[in-house]
Amino acid sequence: MELSDFFREHSRVALAFSGGTDSGYLLYAAGRYGAACRAYYVKTPFQPDFEFEDARRLADELHAELSVTEYDILQDAAVVSNPPERCYFCKKTIFSQIISRAAGDGFKTVIDGTNASDKAEERPGMRALAELGVLSPLRLCGITKDKVRALSKEAGLFTWSKPSYSCLATRIPSGTKIEYDDLLRVEAAEKELAAIGFSNLRVRLFHGAARIQLPEGQFAAAAEKRGAIAAALKKYFPVVLIDTETR
């Protein structure tokens, strides 16, 4: 199946929209192939501010309608307890919000940006999507992450080269209760590192310390700038560690 075929068969869809590469390309493709598509962004403490700004920017550039719902995911005890399948419980809650909102707007079909490179065994949230009847056009059409990037670049979308980004909850070790203040500290620390010049990074909570994960190509810069890194992050964490494993 081609994406054009999918949108011919599903000509009115609600898109779970993150502002990332995959859902961004789907928003573009829906318009290109003549489908009525509304993007739905659920704003929670798990998303950093830049993700929301990217979502708004892309929706504006594509002249697409964007519906934003604020939801406090930290009210969900199953999510906050942070079990190994936290992503399943989180996806179930978030997509239930989208389905309900979309139904009220007259959309019966909900789609998301899961692509053909995503492995179900590594993503518990995919089980929640299946249970809720959410369709994944990229996966159904066999479109991999690399192909999405190539198509997005061809379409002129700024998201074509955007690094993959997992939500802030992934920075908290499984089994550790997710606290709002920890999410804020992690987000602020990652923003500080980006300002210093690092990219595609993660700051993970590690027994109260900040454990920085970087791509291998940025290790030398981290060694040179260790003083600046420590000064920036000590505002948020008493101990700052740089992981020698590649991200």
Do 32 and 153 belong together in one domain? yes
Q: Domain limits at 14?
A: 3-161
Mean pLDDT across the chain: 95
Residue 223 located in a structural domain? yes
Percent of the chain's residues with pLDDT above 90: 92
Residue 167 located in a structural domain? no
Do 93 and 21 belong together in one domain? yes
Write out the H or E segment, with its range, that includes residue 213: strand 209-213
Residue 168 located in a structural domain? no
Entry field: residues in the chain? 247
Residue 129 located in a structural domain? yes
pLDDT value at residue 123: 79
Among the candidates 113, 131, 161, a domain finishes at 161
3-state secondary structure of 137: helix
Q: How many domains does the chain have?
A: 2
Question: With a threshold of 0.85, does the pTM exceed it?
Answer: yes
Cα separation, 107 vs 99, whole angstroms: 8
Q: Note whether 129 and 153 are within 8 A (CB).
A: no
Encode pLDDT of 32-83 as tens digits. 999 999 999 999 999 999 999 999 999 999 999 999 999 999 999 999 999 9
Cα separation, 32 vs 30, whole angstroms: 5
Q: Structure tokens of 182?
A: 């920890």
Cα separation, 142 vs 136, whole angstroms: 10
Weakest-pLDDT range from 14-23, 86-95, 119-128, 209-218:
119-128
CATH number, domain of 51, equals 3.40.50.620
Weakest-pLDDT range from 7-11, 121-125, 233-237:
121-125
Do 107 and 78 belong together in one domain? yes
Q: Structure tokens of 1?
A: 């199946």
Residue 52 located in a structural domain? yes
Do 135 and 193 belong together in one domain? no
* Helix, strand, coil content of the chain in percent (nearest 5): 50, 15, 35
pLDDT value at residue 121: 63
Do 156 and 208 belong together in one domain? no
Q: What is the 3-state secondary structure (H, E, C) of the chain?
A: CCHHHHHHHCCEEEEECCCCHHHHHHHHHHHHCCCEEEEEEEECCCCCHHHHHHHHHHHHHCCCEEEEEECCHHHCHHHHCCCCCHHHHHHHHHHHHHHHHHHHCCCCEEECCCCCCCCHHHCCHHHHHHHHCCECHHHHCCCCHHHHHHHHHHHCCHHHHCCCCCCHHHHCCCCCCCCHHHHHHHHHHHHHHHHHCCCCCEEEEECCEEEEECCHHHHHHHHHCHHHHHHHHCCCCCCEEECCCCC
- Band of the pLDDT at 247, cuts 50, 70, 90? low
Percent of the chain's residues with pLDDT above 70: 98
Among the candidates 161, 192, 213, a domain finishes at 161
3-state secondary structure of 164: coil
Do 199 and 148 belong together in one domain? no
